[in-house]
Chain A
Amino acid sequence: MEKTILRGRAWVFGDDVDTDLIYHNKYLAETDPKKMPQYSFEYYPGKEHFAKEVKPGDFVVAGTNFGCGSSREHAVYCLKYAGIPVVLAENYSRIYYRNAINNGYPVLFIKGISQAIKDKKIEDGDELEVDLAKGEVKNVTKGTSFHGDAVADLEKDIMAAGGLIEYLKSRAGR
């Protein structure tokens, strides 16, 4: 997380994006995280081309309850290893949120973004500028901006270490 101001294109999704839409259960036997991005959003109507066309640095933008459903971490890996630097959603299912933190993957809570998606104030392909440290999102294309919540301290420590497993390794060495 050295670079805190990021710029990239938006891929926009709705509310209640479940784990089968993000990463379908058909591919659960895959255990190599680097092979997971090829299946991202394969089951999401209208986003079947995501895996082929996504570029490192693009953002995933979504409404409420992102990642609801299963506890599968594939749904975090398939975005992280596609080079999506951060997910920007109104809020997350609790297991998805924990999985993200535990894998050192930043997910920001962005107030009002669910409604903005419905009002088409943020759309596929919009150019975004995201300040990770402040949790601020600027839609450069449409000239609007959004504010997010800061992450809690324990969560920050885990994130800073690069994830829960790295965090535990660093503590075990003390």
Chain B
Amino acid sequence: MGKTFAEKALGRAAGHEVKAGEIVTVEPDFCMSHDNSAPIARTFRKIGVKNVWKPERIVFILDHAVPAPSDDHAVNHKETRQFVAEQGITHFYDVSSKGGVCHQVMCEEGFALPGLIMIGSDSHTCTYGAFGAFSTGIGRSEMAAAWATGQIWFKVPESLKVTVKGSFRPGVAAKDLILTLIGDIKADGADYMSVEFHGPAIEAMSIAERMTLCNMGIEMGAKNAVCPPDAKVLAAIRDKARTDRWEALWADDDAVYAKELTYDLDNLVPCVAKPHTVDNYAAIDAVKGTPIHQAFLGSCTNARIEDLRAAAAILKGKEVAVRTIVIPASWKIYRQCMAEGLIETFLDAGCVIANPGCGPCMGNHEGILAPGEACISTANRNFKGRMGNKESFIYLASPLTVAASALKGEIADPREVL
């Protein structure tokens, strides 16, 4: 009987064969935390262990509120720097032009690697599955415990196999696939499961597109989400892998799945997730014309160079009808945007460009909504009040749909402006 990806990755880390349902204790390859590093450090001190188990396996990336917008945030950042110095943590991305949104930086900087066990004190840690890693989000106490012991327990998850074939029609993107899938199986459709993406359409996708898929695994309740570590992944990590502990692992053809689904991209249409849940699917035709007050192109879900190129192609030579906030996912992407003239395109179109970071995604700063306002966003969550005000409305969509909507001031079908 074959094994799933999760059984292989957790078995490799545990040092013995495992199957779904077993509980294993493993050593994480990398532990990521962001602006919550400071409160984790406080909990860590309560355990009574002096030093973290391996400082070189801990990565801190400040991104949730950068540069600090309040004294509370500033104090947290300061405590983080003190802990970095005290513990000799080498992988620290402070407020600087080397950073960006934590998940983007983890992937760009060669931490996200095939077969690794990666944990992060952020629910979207599942993004690194785009590189074939077993990666999952955990809470702060658990992260403090991992720093102290170098261990974490997992129940080996059952797996959901999603096979994808066909190819995207013009105006349709990876975001439409993942919003459609979540709409079909709902917010708890993959609870506790490992979601594997298979098929020729996944192989044809860029790593950026795969990151969009894996990033939103948590929005259907998944423990992790993963794509095959194929030649594209191996080429992407060739010169930047931070460790040689990685190994390209993939599920056997005869692995056993709890559930299997198939999607044909040829049948997919642009869509949105309506307020206030990610599984509140609507095809574009059903929401076209809904007035919006703000558009947001950003976040760990959809602000890579490929996403911004696609949006810029729609905005080029035109002007937005509502305030539009563009936040590249990292400073590397920001520079690439400059080199390709995208920054100029966005500025000419009337967009505001903010510094890389999470921005308004979870309502910290740089684009809070007022009561009664609606925002169309490339981010991953549209929970009530997520962007700061509980009387506001968030529609999630692809960069193409967000750009098309920004031009019209209402939700628009990107196929009509391509």
Query: Which residues from chain A sit less than 8 Å from chain B, CB to CB?
Result: 15-16, 18-21, 24-26, 28-29, 31, 42-43, 45, 64-65, 68-73, 76, 91, 93-95, 98-99, 102-103, 152, 154, 163-165, 168-169, 172
Contacts and interface: CB of A to CB of B under 8 A. Distances in A.
Contacts of A70: 123, 362
Given A25-B363, A164-B141, 12 more contacts: A16-B187, A24-B390, A25-B362, A43-B385, A73-B140, A91-B188, A93-B221, A95-B218, A152-B23, A154-B23, A172-B47, A172-B48
A43 B48 CA distance: 37
B386 interface: yes
Contacts, number: 112
A21 B221 contact: no
A74 to B, nearest CB: 9
Nearest to A76: B139
B23 A165 contact: no
Contact of B138 (A65, A76, A98): A98
Contacts of B73: 29
A94 B192 contact: yes
B226 to A, nearest CB: 16
B417 interface: no
Given A31-B39, A165-B47, A172-B47, A69 B123 contact: yes
A19 B363 CA distance: 14
B149 interface: yes
| 6 shortest interchain CB distances as A-B pairs | A65-B188, A29-B72, A99-B139, A20-B383, A71-B123, A43-B385
Contacts of B148: 168
Interface of B: 23, 38-39, 42-43, 46-49, 70, 72-73, 76, 121-123, 137-142, 144-145, 148-149, 153, 186-188, 191-192, 218, 221, 223, 277, 279, 362-364, 381, 383-386, 388, 390
A172 B140 CA distance: 20
A95 B137 contact: yes
B368 to A, nearest CB: 10
Name, among A16, A24, A71, A169, the residue most crowded by chain B CB atoms within 10 Å (CB to CB): A71
A99 B381 CA distance: 20
Contacts of A16: 186-188, 277, 279
B141 A71 contact: no
Nearest to B25: A154
A24 B138 contact: no
B39 A91 contact: no
24 contacts: A16-B277, A20-B384, A20-B385, A24-B385, A25-B364, A28-B362, A31-B39, A65-B188, A68-B187, A71-B139, A71-B140, A72-B139, A91-B191, A94-B191, A94-B221, A95-B218, A98-B138, A98-B139, A154-B23, A154-B153, A163-B141, A165-B43, A165-B46, A165-B144
A98 B221 CA distance: 13
B231 to A, nearest CB: 32
Given A25-B362, A165-B46, A73 B188 contact: no
Contacts of A154: 23, 153
Contact of B388 (A26, A42, A163, A168): A26
Contacts of A163: 141
B221 A165 contact: no
B385 A68 contact: no
Contacts of A25: 362-364, 385-386
Contact of B191 (A21, A93, A164): A93
Contacts of B137: 71, 95
Contacts of A168: 47, 145, 148-149
A95 B152 CA distance: 13
Nearest to B155: A152
A102 B144 CA distance: 11
A80 B142 CA distance: 17
A154 B277 CA distance: 33
A28 B279 CA distance: 25
A98 to B, nearest CB: 6
Nearest to A153: B23
Contacts of B386: 20, 25
Contact of B188 (A21, A45, A64): A64
